[in-house]
């Protein structure tokens, strides 16, 4: 009899505990409607009735950008630059590149007559070229034989006349080129040719021509007029050339000579 009572008591206690668990579970379900398939005492997600999750979208492998082989020609100029030519750079290059402006025939006709009149009676000669009028001053008779960087007084009158002519035309420009023959040391010849160009250009600078209208160069023996094998030829090659042109074509003329 005692054993029966004990078993009955244990069964009642078990049933009471089950009913409490069930009541607690129903309260939690009502409090969290979205968690109908889970239990408050189960921290790992849904219980026996687990809803299958939607399959994750398949990740397609991302293709690496194709890189051109080294040496292949790309719009940007480099195999490692895939973005094409920069418009700003292209415009900048175009802006800095000198434009070869054609000097008009009317400008050459007008200034040739005035230039020949300005140096009449001197040892200077005048030539007409495609984009410039060229005043040629021979070194012999124009520069001091002992001081190659010094002009003789006889040259000051003709060069002064040419400078005055340019003052009346603000749209004109001047390029002064100093030349030498090929005899002697090249380094010395290059230096002397530059000194001669500086001596002549100083006359134009004193007359008021600024850097935007006046350029000079010493080119040594790189542009001979005659054969350096004879004394006569070397004398012709020792010279200073004053190129008169329109201001807009001065930069291109300087880079082409």
Q: What is the per-residue pLDDT across 27-73, written as a single tens digit (0 to 9) for each?
A: 444 444 444 444 454 444 444 444 444 555 555 555 544 444 443 44
199: nearest Cα among 163, 124, 149, 159: 149
Rounded Cα–Cα distance for residues 149 and 199 (Å)? 6
CA distances from 172 to 161, 163, 200, 212, 217 (A): 15, 11, 17, 10, 18
| Per CATH, domain 105-255 is 3.90.79.10 | no
* Encoded tokens for 44: 């790992």
Domain ranges for the chain, please list them: 105-255
Is the pLDDT at 240 greater than 90, yes or no?
yes
Is the pLDDT at 172 greater than 90, yes or no?
yes
252 contacts: CB under 8 Å, gap ≥ 6:
98, 99, 100, 101
* Encoded tokens for 40: 């408050």
Taking only the tens place, the pLDDT of each residue in 202-215 is 999 999 999 899 99
Report, as an integer, the average pLDDT of 156-184.
94
* Encoded tokens for 184: 């002697």
Q: What is the mean pLDDT of the chain?
A: 76
Is the pLDDT at 25 greater than 50, yes or no?
no
Q: What is the pLDDT of residue 8?
A: 52
Is the pLDDT at 119 greater than 70, yes or no?
yes
154 contacts: CB under 8 Å, gap ≥ 6:
122, 123, 141, 142
Taking only the tens place, the pLDDT of each residue in 133-157 is 999 999 999 999 988 889 999 999 9
Q: Which residue has the tokens 């070194």?
A: 139
Query: How many Cα atoms sit within 13 Å of 96 on the Cβ side?
Result: 5
Q: Which residue has the tokens 């940007």?
A: 76
Instruction: Select the more confidently predicted residue: 88 or 199.
Output: 199
Name the pLDDT band for 130 (thresholds 50, 70, 90): confident
76: nearest Cα among 92, 64, 89: 89
Report, as an integer, the average pLDDT of 160-188.
94
| Residues constituting the chain | 257
């Amino acid at each position: 009899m005692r054993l029966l009572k004990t078993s009955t008591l244990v069964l009642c206690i078990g049933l009471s505990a089950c009913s409490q668990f069930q009541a607690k579970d129903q309260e939690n379900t009502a409090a969290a409607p979205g968690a109908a398939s889970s239990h408050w005492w189960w921290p790992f997600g849904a219980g026996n009735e687990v809803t299958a999750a939607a399959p994750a979208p398949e990740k397609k492998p991302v293709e690496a950008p194709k890189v051109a082989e080294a040496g292949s020609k790309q719009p940007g100029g480099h195999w490692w630059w895939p973005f094409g030519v920069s418009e700003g750079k292209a415009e900048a290059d175009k802006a800095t590149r000198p434009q070869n402006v054609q000097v008009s025939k009317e400008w050459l006709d007008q200034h040739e007559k005035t230039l020949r009149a300005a140096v009449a009676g001197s040892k200077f000669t005048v030539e007409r070229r495609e984009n410039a009028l060229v005043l040629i001053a021979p070194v012999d008779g124009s520069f001091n034989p002992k001081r190659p960087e010094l002009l003789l007084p006889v040259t000051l009158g003709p060069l002064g006349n040419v400078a005055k002519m340019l003052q009346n035309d603000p749209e004109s420009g001047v390029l002064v080129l100093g030349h030498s023959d090929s005899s002697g040391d090249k380094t010395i010849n290059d230096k002397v040719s530059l000194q001669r160009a500086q001596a002549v250009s100083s006359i134009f600078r004193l007359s008021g021509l600024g850097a935007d209208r006046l350029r000079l160069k010493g080119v040594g023996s790189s542009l001979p007029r005659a054969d350096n094998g004879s004394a006569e030829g070397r004398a012709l090659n020792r010279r200073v050339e004053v190129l008169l042109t329109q201001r807009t074509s001065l930069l291109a003329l300087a880079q082409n000579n």
